[in-house]
Amino acid sequence: MTCYYYEQVSGKGKFKRITGSHIGGGTILGLAKLLTGCSSFEEFLELSQRGNNESVDLTIKDLFGEGYRKYGFQTSFIVGSFGKVNSSKLSEYKVEDISASLLNCFIYNTGQMVYLVTKILGVKRIFFRGAFVCGHEKIMGKISQFLEQRLKGEVQLTFLCREGSLGTLGSFWSYENMGIDGLVGHEDMREVLLGAPYTGQFQSLAHGQNKRFEGEVKNLWREDVVLKVEVELLQLQRENAELKAKLVDNAMLKAEVERLRRENAELNARIM
């Protein structure tokens, strides 16, 4: 998790860097560790889920009241992150509230950057990648909500939740050079791997065919569950066998102890 950068892709092999920001996932984690004492990004997210950012953030309703709707934003919309903080002592604020405010601060920053880039370039589809955003439903949901309010649904958002394999997928995209140009169903394959929106709907499929993919996904999940159960069963069987072996060993030890006791008793009797 480091900086953010924004690239425009206009076609195969046609892309350029637009801009970037030094404020990224590494920044939020560093500040989170300093302000909350958390040790990981996951712990920070857990804290934020239990917090109330409005305890420290300045919102529209704080300035204009509950009924203010001039610009179409909800009254909980943040106009100043940490804007209510009036003490220099961290101990006077809950770490959960600080976490919630910090998370929203970066979400708003990300959303605003994306909004400006989108407006400047006029793009209609945006892809997100990176460990700070993708795979975390709360973050993806908040970014989606922020951009929905600003862009009014004019742009499709896609979160690449398997972004850790983008290098491999990039190689797969060069399939013409790999001698697999005739791969059956390769277009669907590429879309499933690279272009499937967060909603799970694939544009290249005819209406209704998504259900077939959904069914296959469910079957894979069921198979995965069965496999996990089988693995757990094997582990339990192995542990059971080990425990039985220990019981046998214990029984043998007890028998040996009894034998030695009898032998000692006999020896004592002879001595007497």
Q: Tens digits of per-residue pLDDT, 224-257?
A: 777 777 888 888 888 888 888 888 788 888 888 8
Helix (H, G, I), strand (E, B) or coil at 244: helix
Helix (H, G, I), strand (E, B) or coil at 127: strand
pLDDT value of position 163: 61
Question: What is the pLDDT averaged over residues 259-271?
Answer: 83
9 and 18 Cβ atoms separated by less than 8 Å? no
Give which of 203, 201, 193, 125 is closest to 162, Cα–Cα: 193
DSSP lists the bridge partners of residue 11 as: 14
Planar angle of CA 207, 209, 211, nearest 5 degrees: 115
Q: What sign for the dihedral angle of Cα 200, 204, 207, 208?
A: negative
Calpha distance 211→199 (Å, rounded): 13
| Block residue for tokens 């940490």 | 82
Supply the pTM of this predicted model.
0.57
Question: What is the pLDDT averaged over residues 103-123?
Answer: 87
213 and 174 Cβ atoms separated by less than 8 Å? no
Question: What is the pLDDT averaged over residues 161-186?
Answer: 57
Calpha distance 110→169 (Å, rounded): 25
Calpha distance 181→204 (Å, rounded): 18
Calpha distance 136→130 (Å, rounded): 10
Calpha distance 67→140 (Å, rounded): 28
- Segment among 3-7, 38-42, 157-161, 227-231 with least mean pLDDT: 3-7
pLDDT value of position 123: 84
Q: Is the pLDDT of residue 213 over 70?
A: no
Calpha distance 191→230 (Å, rounded): 33
Residues whose CB falls within 8 Å of the CB of residue 172, separated by 6 or more in sequence, listed in order: 190, 193
Give which of 184, 182, 192, 186 is closest to 160, Cα–Cα: 192
